[in-house]
Amino acid sequence: MTKPQLTLILGGAASGKSTFAENICFQQGKPKVYIATAQAFDDEMREKISNHRSQRGPDWLTIEAPLDVVSALSNCTSGQIVLLDCATLWLSNLLLADQDIATASDAFLAALVTCPAIVIVVSNEVGNGIVPDNKLARQFRNAQGQLNQLLAAQANLVIQVTAGLPQTLKNEAIILK
């Protein structure tokens, strides 16, 4: 079985990872799907989401999926390129909703395998910071690190973005089509 065309874009907060991922999508010339995991609980986040939508432009089909990325991925087709932004917010949403992280992560990884579209997943690299001082933050850091490792193992291409500069960490030479 051929591996899916999956790209993982990692980076810290405000590293340029989302813009880099969007640029990959623009270059493909395919119908673009944006799976959004963010939730707007305050004015600052509403503004950030609005700015992201404006930056992307009107050519995207946006699917709001703060918890159910599996269903969102199942509705994508082979002619599309999908940007899931981001796995970090999705994982945070699951933790705060007291969901089973292992089961949800397994379902997410399985959905990536069966999704016929090219998929780019954006995720935060959280392993470069200090050890958090509280249980929830440590639980999140550990879960995010584990999810990133599983995504990287499954991905054909893994790119770390720092200060807007991409560095390829893994490339299995599958050309995006």
Express each pLDDT in 24-83 by its tens digit: 999 999 999 999 999 988 999 999 889 888 888 889 999 999 999 999 999 999 999 999
Place 2 in a pLDDT band, splitting at 50, 70 and 90.
very low
Task: Indicate if 52 belongs to the active site.
Answer: yes
Residues constituting the chain: 177
**Residue of 4, 16, 28, 52 with catalytic role:** 52
Answer left, alpha or beta for residue 115, where phi above 0 means left and psi between -120 and 50 means alpha. Answer: beta
Report pLDDT for 132.
87
